[in-house]
Amino acid sequence: MNEILREFLSEQNSKAPVDFTQLDAVEFRNSFPDRFTEGSYQQNVNKVDIEINLTGNKISARLYKPFNISGTLPVLVYFHGGGFVIGTPALSDSVCEGLAYCAQCVVVSIDYRLAPEYPFPTGLQDAFEALNWVYHNAAALDIDSERIAVGGNSAGGNFAAVLAQASRDVVPTLCHQVLLFPVLNYGFDSVSAREYDQGYFLSREMMQWFWQTYLPEHYDKSDPLISPLQAHRLKEVCSATIVTAQYDILRDDAHTYAEKLKQAGVPVALKCWNDSIHDFILMPDKFPVADDAIVFAAEQLKNAFAIPPVTSHGERKWN
């Protein structure tokens, strides 16, 4: 373990422990910072908040577009993390700014509704509808409706993985998925979940609390809409970029998912950062390698955008 991580964990572990048996979700949300830090690419993108009309509801979103670039751009529809309970697009500002600039695309970050006020499946339904809205409003947003990707960190990675699986059967067809430390399975039995349970920022107890707050008890935890790792049909899912951290309880689930995708013939770029923890990509001031992870993900995304989409006849459409 390097000195940067050791100092960060020492600071975090010196704080009073959270009693999750008594934790009020709304109070926890209100105590959480809007964002961790300023990113390296803030001055390189234009950022504007927009409103999205869904069925019987309105939600907001944050749109990022690189400065000094014109024309119709590809788009990444992004979902922030926070265990389905906390967070807003501001929490992942630095990541979305970096992806927009480095991949030369528009990023639309969705402010989906949160549990416990809106438990599963509300947030996921918001994600589905928001993706559809982006597709149908491509002209107004000046984006290419044939080059749409999804992405997210942590809980947002869960939504992105579910949407990627669903896009084989519904419009729009997606060209790529960017999964950053994704929540892919309801379960805590992997080696990483056991080894890094305590003292590494995200614990099994915290993740269990998030699940209990988000997911009503009567739902089948193995449903791929909840646990995309449990999906039996992964053939023809869009290509994936998966970023993980060495000391993350979610690491092994992400690696297992990457292997399952590869076995189904899906191109996967997987990279695990050593001496790092869950969601380190949100904290470039604490973890200098955060920018390296953003550049890695952006390069994979940019490459995916360069591949022509598949037509209804199964052929590539070259412009």
Count of CA atoms in the C-beta half-sphere (13 A) of 189: 3
Angle between helices 93-103 and 289-306 (to 10 degrees): 50
At 287, phi and psi to the nearest 5?
-125, 100
Give the separation between CA 86 and CA 29, rounded to whole angstroms: 5
How many CB atoms sit inside 10 A of residue 312's CB? Answer: 7
SS (HEC) of 38-67: CCCCHHHEEEEEEEEEECCEEEEEEEEEEC
Output the CA torsion sign for 5, 151, 215, 232. negative
What positions carry a catalytic annotation? 154, 248, 278
How is residue 276 written in tokens? 């790092």
Show Cβ contacts of residue 265 under 8 Å, excluding neighbours closer than 6 positions.
235, 236
What whole-number distance in Å separates Cα of residue 50 and Cα of residue 109?
10
**Cβ of 151: how many Cβ atoms within 10 Å?**
31
